[in-house]
Amino acid sequence: MLNSYLLEMEDRDLFYNVTQKVNAYKKEHPDESVISLGIGDVSRPVVAPVIEAMHRAVDDLASSATFHGYGAYYGCDFLRQAILDNEYGKYGFTMDEIYVSDGTKSDSTNILELFDINSKILIGNPTYPIYRDGARALSRKTYYGKNDENFKMLIPQEHYDIIYLCSPNNPIGNAYTKEEYEAWIDNALKNNAVLLVDNVYRPFIQSENVPDSIYELPGSKKVAIEFRSFSKQVSFTGVRCSYYVLPDEIAENVNHYWRKRTINRFNGACYVAQRGAEASFAPEAQKLIRENIRYYQENARVLREGFLKAGFSLIGGIDAPYMWVKTKDGMSAWEMFDVFLKEMNIIIIPGVIFGEQGEGHFRISALGNIDLSRQAIERIVKYYEK
Ligand code: PLP
């Protein structure tokens, strides 16, 4: 018998309808230049010191003295040590609490294997859709939360065992402040809940009051598992390498059990990717990576100011590379999508793709090319001047 939860899953990538519509439009209008403000992938290349480290790692594989094969189920020690030295050691973690993997897309749902299959799981709405469909693939049911006026999920009245927090947030583009994190931690401690904190957009944080990590806050080690990825910070969306922290304090012997599970379910992340990830922490690489992030932040500024100039209201774009924009004239998200595509030759992502509470909104991304963003803004401002 098949997994019945698979039947409830979307048939295709959620962006499929967008791609279909865009391709049909391009076919009918081959001479139009269509600009995408929808891209969730990075556009800056991998920086040179990281590329060089990966070249050296490939060479390691060519000699039996330096060859790397099976064995590093939780990640190579050199990378886990670098993660501790640069990011998590300051919160008092040890290497046994750090796991290296092949992407937060899989990590954020695979972690559910740590918990009882009947755990009640709360996710945002709108949300990064993988939390829902990834949970379904593992035969788990999720429930949607409610939001405040800034689309931040409200602390629920009922009990949930597992709560996904995405901060900085995709698709909304905002992030939890210190006080908001404190309230979630307090609630989780009282209700014996676990917070799964997706922190992949951390490098984009600019606001003073937005913590870099939930572990900056007291009590968090008892309730929070935090996920990070090299995807956005090192442009590793195609290379694949991620990491997460499972604090010893979550439950007695938790890392003993999770190591057991990991040995049986995962053969480790790619050695070449891990050498590249390690090299990304070196000062020269960090300097170049910061330049890439600043490029996206500048792109976000251009888009934010442009959309505001054209009379839209929006949130996000300061602490994350996404902005969440309200449609105009009471249009639905898909109606607005059509106006952008057909009238301005611009692709936006309808908010409903991320959950039905995203109706009446759309997402734009600052991960693309800044010159194209400027051209898009010119078109948008001109169109709404009419
Ligand atoms: N988490 C969020 C919130 C994302 O938006 C994305 C990618 O867009 C991911 C995780 C995927 O990360 P990775 O490339 O490490 O699998």
Minimal-distance CA residue to ligand 1 atom 9: 105
Instruction: Among 198, 199, 200, name the best residue to mutate to test ligand 1's pocket (greatest count of ligand atoms within 8 A of Cβ).
Output: 200
pLDDT for 207-246, tens place per residue? Answer: 999 999 999 999 999 999 999 999 999 999 999 999 999 9
What residues flank ligand 1, with Cβ below 6 Å?
40, 103-105, 128, 166, 170, 198, 200, 229, 231, 237, 242
pLDDT score for 14: 72
pLDDT for 169-180, tens place per residue? Answer: 999 999 999 999
Taking the CB of residue 299, how many other CB atoms lie within 10 A of it? 24
Exposed/middle/buried for residue 222 (C-beta within 10 Å: 0-12, 13-18, 19+) = middle
CA–centroid distance, 144 to ligand 1, in Å, is 19
For ligand 1, what atom is nearest to the CA of residue 166? 3
CA–centroid distance, 269 to ligand 1, in Å, is 16
Instruction: Among 41, 104, 240, 353, name the best residue to mutate to test ligand 1's pocket (greatest count of ligand atoms within 8 A of Cβ).
Output: 104
Q: Widest CA span of the chain, in angstroms? A: 69
Tell me which H or E stretch contains 242.
Answer: strand 242-245
pLDDT for 252-263, tens place per residue? Answer: 999 999 999 999
pLDDT for 326-353, tens place per residue? Answer: 999 999 999 999 999 999 999 999 999 9
User: pTM of the entire structure?
Assistant: 0.96
Mean per-residue pLDDT over the chain, rounded: 96
DSSP state of 201: T
